[in-house]
Amino acid sequence: MPRKKTSKAPKTEKIKGVINGAGEVVEQPIVSTIRENFMPYAMSVILSRAIPEIDGFKPSHRKLLYTMYKMGLLTGARTKSANIVGATMKLNPHGDSAIYDTMVRLSRGYEALLHPYVDSKGNFGKFYSRDMAWAASRYTEAKLAPICSELFRDIDKDTVDFVDNYDNTMKEPTLLPAVFPSVLVNANTGIAVGMASNICSFNLREICETTAALIRDPDHDIFSTLPAPDFSGGCQIIYDEKAFQQVYETGKGSIRLRAKYVYDKSDNCVDVLAIPSSTTCEVIIEKIIDLVKQGKVREISDVRDETGIDGLKITIDLKRGTDPDKLMAKLFKLTTLEDSYACNFNVLIAGVPRVLGVRELLEEWIAFRIECVKRRTFYDRTKKAEKLHLLKGLEKILLDIDKAIKIIRETDEEAEVVPNLMIGFGIDQVQAEYVAEIKLRHLNREYILKRTQDIEDLEREIAELDDILKSKSRVKTIIVKELKSVADKYGQPRKSMIIYEDTAAYVEEVDEVPDYPCTFFFTKEGYFKKVKTQSLRMMGAHKLKEGDEVTQEIAANNNCDLLFFTDKAQVYKAKANDFTDTKTSVLGEYVAAKLGMDEDENAVYLVVTKDYKGILLFAFENGKAAKVPLEAYATKTNRKKLTGAYSDKNPLAAMLWIDEDREVLFTASSGRMLLVHTGALALKTTRSTQGVSVMKLKKGHRLFSLSEYREGSFKKPQRYRTKSLPALGALPTSEDSNDEQLSLL
């Protein structure tokens, strides 16, 4: 079938696809494909799924809570979670598993929120446990927590907009008229397309006080009433003024969290009772076990998870004589017992995702709440005005009840009753309908007097509501009173203790590494031996695998760094003291297994250093050479593996470490040799540089050897030198070919 062209765009901007049913292959511009298919998906995820709005909820949260509200679960008894999940499907057209997962994360049992919105019964798992799964929805029960009454207060008074659900069978709110800034009270995390949101939680009482103070004084110092976030797990927060200022001002930044522990002297153990919300107890225990196996932590005899009905508890048994504070200082550094929480206050404001600081976010919530209060006030004013209008008509009937009865009695047709009352008393149709519907038993002076006594109260209330609508300050006063009421009713003490940088700082205990002269041996097959120099002379020949040979013998000390370069363009770093002292009569340690190298990866060269001084030369089979300073491999952290150690564009022929520029010898498979002074090669700071051409190679040949040149090795060394690079090199003379140095290549 001939190809149908749909665009004249360049080939680089087209993709091929198949039209379903027709089987025709067409070309379509990538730009239009992204615009028509990917962009709508991205916008849907951002606006309708992953990013919370100013009320603090994502659509899935809002649909679930509103369904529970309409089910009467705010004041009623708990019902099976499966019932709630099924009812929520009328608003949320997703699977029951996704809806139940949402409910679990909002529940009291899961313990992820400072103020849970779902009062749960049964096994709802725990946020601090990776392996503790929650029970199925048919086994658990739930209802709305009391604080939800503040989320739905006056929702039936036109405080927020309502829209049709996905099949237009019922209405749902676009926002919840939350009386307090729920967007900052409970943590919220979401990952959209190209953006994410990660809002930490704050103490309810502190947030309400800060918001009220901000309403009274826009220049209020937020730090004075809102010193730090508050996390449901109760971990400690390390106060860093600069980091907190960045989070408060920009909505982005990182907060350091630390576990809370106590030392049990009677059992000589440490009990960890709270951990950062960004980790789990299983991750911490696995890391501690790994550290003990590696020998980096030697003070621990056992670690176990004792989480139970009283909450999280990780018990660490200590060896005799261990200082618990020093041990925990080490664990804070090596495990996620101390971790960081990355803040990203990304919120949908009027349908637009915006990253806001705390002040800006509270200002947006205040504007939202002002609108809610105004709409509620206008709704109440309208209802009271309608009632007043009816009572005004009833008041006119009071002037002559007998006349009203006579008009009704003398009217022949029912349809004429309302028009006749309108004419007889000068009232409108609505008032006449109201009068006509009064029961006969109520057509007495006492009933009508009681009803009309409310007219004066209604007029006074309407005037009050009109005054509120005209005065922004009165609206703000109402919001402040509501915030104080919520703080008094639901406020609770801080769960997370704030500790300051100077008290939180600890000095890393550096184990004393014995330093003594030793000699390192590295073989072609990747085996490594560390032998004490003083006992080396008394040892015999090396034990090696068949076909193996020692390629490097380096004299150094026990506290050096070892850099093992591999055939996969990676380098693995280790300490010399990580390897045990051995003898030449043993096979040695297999480096690939010892350092956990990748599958089919082998160590090919060893560099020993203390100060990362010197130069590394890399010779590639295509005749190029790269010169990189060894300090390019120094890292501030204790990283064990560095990728991109050298260029992988061409196979590595050989590498060499030298302490300063000097002459080196390049040898090709053709037998040609080239003497080059490394000062002629430019030093590159990029580890993955492809280098510069050094040796010209004839077709079918390759560069295969690089070695340090020793003066006197050649009778006529000038024969192998050149004035410019790249060069072809020279074939060795008969005198040089018998030289000892050449026999080693």
Q: Strand runs (DSSP E) across 567-713, as ranges?
A: 570-575, 589-590, 603-609, 615-620, 624-629, 641-643, 652-658, 663-668, 673-677, 692-693, 703-708
> Looking at residues 325-347, what average pLDDT do you find?
94
The two tokens of residue 149 are: 């009454």
**Are 200 and 255 contacting, i.e. CB atoms less than 8 angstroms apart?**
yes
Per-residue model confidence (pLDDT) at position 414: 86
Whether 555 has a pLDDT exceeding 50, the answer reads yes
AA letter at 321: G
Of 335, 358, 85, nearest in space to 214 by CA: 358
Average pLDDT score over the chain: 89
Q: What is the DSSP string of 325-383?
A: HHHHHHHHHHSTTEEEEEEE-EEEETTEEEE--HHHHHHHHHHHHHHHHHHHHHHHHHH
Gap between the terminal Cα atoms of the chain: 62
Q: Per-residue pLDDT tens for 408-466?
A: 888 888 889 899 999 988 999 999 998 888 887 777 778 777 877 888 889 999 999 99
Nearest-angstrom CA–CA distance, 247 and 242: 9
Rounded to 5 degrees, φ, ψ at 56 are 90, 10
User: Helices H, strands E: what count in the chain?
Assistant: 23, 34
Q: Per-residue pLDDT tens for 190-224?
A: 988 889 999 999 999 999 999 999 999 999 999 99
Whether 738 has a pLDDT exceeding 70, the answer reads no
Higher pLDDT, 364 or 13: 364
- Tell me the three state secondary structure of residue 427: coil
AA letter at 536: L
Q: For 239-299, where are the alpha helices, taking DSSP H only?
A: 241-250, 281-294
Per-residue model confidence (pLDDT) at position 91: 93
Per-residue model confidence (pLDDT) at position 194: 86
Domains and CATH numbers, the chain: 11-46 (no CATH), 51-178 (3.90.199.10), 260-336 (3.30.1360.40), 367-490 (1.10.268.10), 517-743 (2.120.10.90)
Alpha carbons within 13 angstroms on the beta-carbon side of residue 180 total 28
Residue 511 confidence class, pLDDT cut points 50, 70, 90: low
Whether 86 has a pLDDT exceeding 90, the answer reads yes
Q: What percent of the chain has pLDDT over 90?
A: 65
Q: How far is CA 713 from CA 146, 421, 736, in A?
A: 90, 129, 8
Q: Per-residue pLDDT tens for 13-57?
A: 444 454 455 557 777 788 888 888 888 888 888 888 899 999 999
Q: Per-residue pLDDT tens for 278-295?
A: 999 999 999 999 999 888
Label the pairing between strands 236-239 and 498-500.
Answer: parallel
Residue 300 confidence class, pLDDT cut points 50, 70, 90: very high
Per-residue model confidence (pLDDT) at position 617: 95
Residue 12 confidence class, pLDDT cut points 50, 70, 90: very low
Q: Per-residue pLDDT tens for 653-699?
A: 999 999 999 999 999 999 999 999 999 999 988 898 999 999 999 88
The active-site residue out of 41, 139, 166, 500 is: 139
Rounded to 5 degrees, φ, ψ at 692 are -125, 155
Query: Cβ-count burial of 668 within 10 angstroms (0-12 exposed, 13-18 middle, 19+ buried)?
Result: buried
Nearest-angstrom CA–CA distance, 377 and 381: 6
Whether 6 has a pLDDT exceeding 50, the answer reads no
Query: Cβ-count burial of 669 within 10 angstroms (0-12 exposed, 13-18 middle, 19+ buried)?
Result: middle
- Tell me the three state secondary structure of residue 176: coil
139 is an active site residue:
yes
Per-residue model confidence (pLDDT) at position 223: 93
Instruction: Indicate the length of the chain as a whole number.
Output: 745
- Tell me the three state secondary structure of residue 226: coil
User: Lowest-confidence range among 351-355, 513-517, 676-680?
Assistant: 513-517
Q: What is the DSSP string of 6-59?
A: -----GGGEEEEE-TTT--EEEEEHHHHIIIIIHHHHHHHIIIIIS-BTTS--H
Nearest-angstrom CA–CA distance, 622 and 703: 6
Task: Please tell me the pTM assigned to this model.
Answer: 0.69
Nearest-angstrom CA–CA distance, 443 and 72: 38
Rounded to 5 degrees, φ, ψ at 83 are -65, -40
Per-residue model confidence (pLDDT) at position 44: 84
Nearest-angstrom CA–CA distance, 14 and 5: 11
Whether 4 has a pLDDT exceeding 60, the answer reads no
